Amino acid sequence: MQSWPTATVPKLPTPPQALTLRVHDTASRSLVPVEPRDGTARLYVCGITPYDATHLGHAATYLTFDTLVRIWRDQGLEVRYVQNVTDIDDPLLERAARDGVRWEHVAERETNLFRGDMTALRVLPPTWYVGAVEAMDEIAELVVRLKEAGAAYDVDGDVYFSVAAAEHFGEVAGLPLADMLQLSAERGGDPDRPGKKDPLDCLLWMQQRPGEPGWPSPLGTGRPGWHVECTAMALNRLGDTLDVQGGGSDLAFPHHELSAAEAEVATGVHPFARAYVHAGMVGLDGEKMSKSLGNLVFVSKLVAAGTEPGALRLALLGSHYRTDREWTAAALAAGELRLQAWRAGVDRPAGPVGDGVLSVVRAALFDDLDTPAALAAVDAWCAADGDDSASPALVRELVDALLGVLL
Ligand code: 5CA
Ligand code: ZN
């Protein structure tokens, strides 16, 4: 599937070799070093389910992984990045029925809006942007592989993955059974379906239902379960091990847990990802911003109303990615003020020495993507006087390359 146009990324002076990037890994509940092999970083970030427009919660999560991509590129690594689009799923069918349009139309319309938002926000596009619909064959192939490995079974013609087949099942989210059961029911699972061996077993392939779309496969005509889509797309483009598997914290269980379990059984390799990185939830008025709750603030609407995407970026990067937070008018106003102050800072003929702010910004970002500390370092540079006439250009470039903001 077509992604979106890339923004240019200025090349900065080579970073000191001594810096090691560390990120928070949900599975080990600790900061872990990220040391990609062979000069190549492998990243899978779960993409949108395109049934409603991108809201600021999505934007915050994709900005988190954009920061990671920018750090890797700054390190001189090649970045192989896969992002999916869940372009067929129950919510799409429900939305299409409600609006009296075809589900394909809903998917295309909302994916286009998302591309527009990502372009406006200068989020760098993934190497592969893959829709579930275009990946049906490879997904079915993985389901067949899991069946052959003895990790799948039939329930009334539908195919289920057996969590008992994965030795390390449960280790990504590290949750007690009761929590897993509850989250499974809340987030697309069916723990109470009769005939399953374990309530946490998940759907791999669903036979076509009347009035619903289906794709021919060796498993019969139907469509895949959610988790196995991401597993297949990741394994086929990035190999058996990812450096980072990313998404919002609502994906840790069951989605990333089950994807990891499926990958482990299919490849015999553990762990699937060296780090599972999860962004906090952005809320509005005390609730998680979500399509189903309807309490949404849209990137496209803010931008159409005249908000500068750079200010939006700074507003979102002003909090640490792991913190659950509220979207407020004050956060946006702070982003706007900051953008003005930074523009004034780089428009000066000279400023404090630029190498200093560059190394502080890098050190902050290498420390679990500490964007608030990185922003504070640029604030400090803008607030101080100096006579380095090369520094305004360097700061403009570092803000562009590492923070994605054009001053
Ligand atoms: N298509 C699946 C992943 S395969 C999906 O979760 N789609 S989504 O459209 O619901 O969410 C897309 C991404 O945005 C996910 O990483 C999700 O964790 C993240 N996300 C959703 N709501 C919020 C929110 N309120 N705050 C932060 N991130 C969010
Ligand atoms: Zn996913």
- Mutation test residue for ligand 1: of 123, 250, 282, 295, the one with most atoms within 8 Å of CB: 250
Beta bridge partners of 214: none
Mean pLDDT over 47-74 rounds to: 94
Question: For residues 223 and 214, what is the distance between their CA atoms, to the nearest angstrom?
Answer: 6
Classify burial at 288, counting beta carbons within 10 Å of its beta carbon; exposed 0-12, middle 13-18, buried 19 or more.
Answer: middle
Tell me if 396 CB under 6 Å of ligand 1: no
Question: For residues 325 and 181, what is the distance between their CA atoms, to the nearest angstrom?
Answer: 26
Q: Given this model, what pLDDT does residue 289 score? A: 65
Q: Given this model, what pLDDT does residue 359 score? A: 95
Mean pLDDT over 343-349 rounds to: 98
Q: Given this model, what pLDDT does residue 267 score? A: 98
Question: CB under 8 Å to 68, separation ≥6 — which residues?
Answer: 23, 43, 244, 246, 277, 369
Nearest to 319 by CA among 138, 7, 57, 35: 57
Q: Convert the pLDDT of each residue in 213-232 to its tens digit.
A: 999 999 999 999 999 999 99
The Å distance, Cα 32 to ligand 2 centre, comes to 22
Mean pLDDT over 65-84 rounds to: 97
Query: Which residues fall inside 5 Å of ion ligand 2, going by CB?
Result: 46, 230
Which range is least confidently modeled, 76-85, 217-226, 247-256, 296-305? 296-305
Mean pLDDT over 295-322 rounds to: 92
The Å distance, Cα 364 to ligand 2 centre, comes to 28
Number of Cβ within a 10 Å radius of residue 387: 10
Beta bridge partners of 33: 22
Mean pLDDT over 153-181 rounds to: 98
CATH class of 21-279: alpha beta
- Mutation test residue for ligand 1: of 56, 58, 326, the one with most atoms within 8 Å of CB: 58
Closest-lying ligand 1 atom to the alpha carbon of residue 289 = 25
Average pLDDT, the chain: 95
Classify burial at 22, counting beta carbons within 10 Å of its beta carbon; exposed 0-12, middle 13-18, buried 19 or more.
Answer: middle
Mean pLDDT over 290-298 rounds to: 70
Q: Given this model, what pLDDT does residue 298 score? A: 86
3-state secondary structure of 43: strand
The Å distance, Cα 161 to ligand 1 centre, comes to 23
Q: Given this model, what pLDDT does residue 18 score? A: 79
Q: Convert the pLDDT of each residue in 127-148 to its tens digit.
A: 999 999 999 999 999 999 999 9
Mean pLDDT over 317-329 rounds to: 94
Q: Given this model, what pLDDT does residue 292 score? A: 66
Q: Given this model, what pLDDT does residue 295 score? A: 64
Same fold, 21-279 and 306-403: no
Nearest to 162 by CA among 192, 193, 191, 197: 197
Q: How do the domains of the chain map onto residue ranges?
A: 21-279, 306-403
Question: Is residue 403 within 8 Å of residue 313, measured between CB atoms?
Answer: yes
Q: Given this model, what pLDDT does residue 329 score? A: 86
Q: Which CATH number fits domain 306-403: 1.10.3470.10, 1.10.1740.10, 1.20.120.640, 3.40.50.1370?
A: 1.20.120.640
Q: Supply the pTM of this predicted model.
A: 0.97
Question: Which residue did the predictor score with more confidence, 135 or 329?
Answer: 135
Q: Look at residue 29 and tell me whether its pLDDT is greater than 70.
A: yes
Q: Convert the pLDDT of each residue in 87-107 to its tens digit.
A: 999 999 999 999 999 999 999
The Å distance, Cα 7 to ligand 2 centre, comes to 25
Q: Given this model, what pLDDT does residue 290 score? A: 66
Q: Look at residue 258 and tell me whether its pLDDT is greater than 90.
A: yes
Question: For residues 165 and 270, what is the distance between their CA atoms, to the nearest angstrom?
Answer: 13
